[in-house]
Amino acid sequence: MDFPPAFTLQYHFNSMGALKPYVGVGAQYINFFDTGTGDNVLGAQKVSIDDAVGFTIQAGIDFSLTNGWYLNADVKKTWLDTTVTWHRNKALGGLNVVADADVDPVIVSVGLGYRFNLFGPRVPVTVAAAPLK
């Protein structure tokens, strides 16, 4: 299993009506945990994968529906390098095997969202001084 959050800075193109395309650049961090041994031919008793940070690019589009609702489609490409270790291999007399691995995922997502108008039009507030008596 892994935990792969991606952090990107985005630029949104806003002059296309209901369509709002964007591009982004940033980084992705992957934390690998609960890595099983699977059916490995080395007979490793444990497999570990080092956590990794990699460069990420992104492109997506939001399509406004109505009343704050929108559809979103997004694609991210990340380049990560990590190290995989097979520990205490029976086939090699208990030696460890270490290898570099490229983990270069393409992540595609589709979603439905809602935008809260937190910074939208403000209702003017009028404060009148109370007459002195």
pLDDT digits (tens, 9 = 90+) for 8-30: 999 999 878 889 999 999 999 98
| CATH value at residue 56 | 2.40.160.20
Mean pLDDT across the chain: 85
Closest C-alpha to 116, from 60, 67, 63: 67
State the residue range of the domain holding 61: 2-35+51-81+102-114
Read off the tokens for 101: 């691995």
Given a cut of 70, whether residue 92 has pLDDT beyond it is yes
Please give the C-alpha separations between residue 82 and each of 13, 32, 51, 55, 66, in angstroms, as whole numbers.
35, 10, 7, 13, 44
Asked if residue 104 lies in contact with residue 82, where contact means CB atoms within 8 angstroms, the answer is no
**Cα separation of 82 and 25, whole Å?**
21
- Would you state the pLDDT for residue 46? 84
Given a cut of 70, whether residue 68 has pLDDT beyond it is yes
**Cα separation of 103 and 100, whole Å?**
10
Given a cut of 80, whether residue 64 has pLDDT beyond it is yes
- Would you state the pLDDT for residue 118? 64
Domain count, the chain: 1
